[in-house]
Amino acid sequence: MAKKKVKKKTATKKIAKKATKKAATKKIAKKATKKAAAKKVTKKVAKKAAKKPAKKATKKVATKPAKKIQKKAVKTTGTPKMKKAPAVAPTKLPELGSLAPTFTLKDQNGKDVSLESFRGQNVVIYFYPKAMTPGCTVQACSLRDAQAELKANNIVVLGISGDPQKSLKKFEDRDHLNFTLLSDEDHKVAKAYGSWGMKNFMGRDYMGIMRQSFMIDGEGKIVGVMSKVDTKSHHDDVLKFFKSLG
């Protein structure tokens, strides 16, 4: 019986030793796998760290020449510099004492009106920018209200603008105008009288009719020029001028 007990004890000891050996080998295996995994992670991190600066470097190298090429292209074939509008020589005023440039234009009713048909009468030709605008309306209405006195002094009023005939008719009807309005749509007459030039409104430069008046005597000669016109007193200024001639 004693022998059997000794054998059992030795068997259990052997089993226990094997179990402890297995456990030890497992622990060693786990540690080895952990180390291997850690090594893999560090290798990956190292690879990424190595790739990043390499990529940045390649990007810089790739983009720098492209940018330089673009800059050169812009310099050579880029958007051209804006050129200033060419200076337009102002049309010259006709000389005092010279014959007034002749013309034939359509009036507000579509009829032809020529300057030569008024020989023997005093004529005021007044150029104005645009029908039915505030300043032009004031000027036209002042001449309308002074028609009786103007006719008494043998003065004919001819208003010239770049408006079409229909607009002039509306202007006449709206403000009950009682004198001749002429349409100079191609601005030929305005240019002939030096009344077409560069203007400025609210910071914008543009070509247009300049507000000017010309006094013409019965012989068709220019005897007076008003380059600066007061729209409110224009009718009085015209009357005073012709009266001063005697």
Q: Which of 53-57, 118-122, 206-210 has the highest mean pLDDT?
A: 118-122
- Output the pLDDT for position 199: 84
Give the global pTM.
0.64
Q: Residue 50 has what pLDDT?
A: 53
Indicate if the pLDDT at residue 72 is higher than 70: no
What pLDDT is attached to residue 246?
Answer: 77
Other Cβ atoms closer than 10 A to 129: 16
Between these two residues, 47 and 57, which has the higher pLDDT value?
Answer: 47
Burial string for 159-173 (b: 16+ CB within 10 Å, else e) reads: bbbbbebebbbebbe
Question: How confident is residue 77, by pLDDT bands cut at 50, 70 and 90?
Answer: very low
First to last CA, the chain: 171
Around 170, how many Cα atoms within 13 Å sit in the side-chain half-sphere? 9
Report whether CATH 3.40.30.10 matches the domain 104-245: yes
Structure confidence by residue, pLDDT tens digits, 193-206? 999 999 887 888 88
Tell me, yes or no, if 136 is annotated catalytic: yes
pLDDT of residue 85: 45
Indicate which residue of 115, 136, 146, 160 is catalytic. 136
pLDDT tens figures, 36-51 = 555 555 555 455 555 5
pLDDT exceeds cutoff 50 at 58: no
pLDDT mean over 86-92? 60
- pLDDT for 73: 47
43 or 111: which carries more pLDDT confidence? 111
Confidence of residue 147 (pLDDT cuts 50, 70, 90): very high
DSSP conformation letters of 77-123: HSPPPPPPPPPPPPPPPPPTTSBPPP-EEEETTS-EEEGGGGTTSEE
Provide the pLDDT confidence category of residue 82 given band limits of 50, 70 and 90. Answer: very low
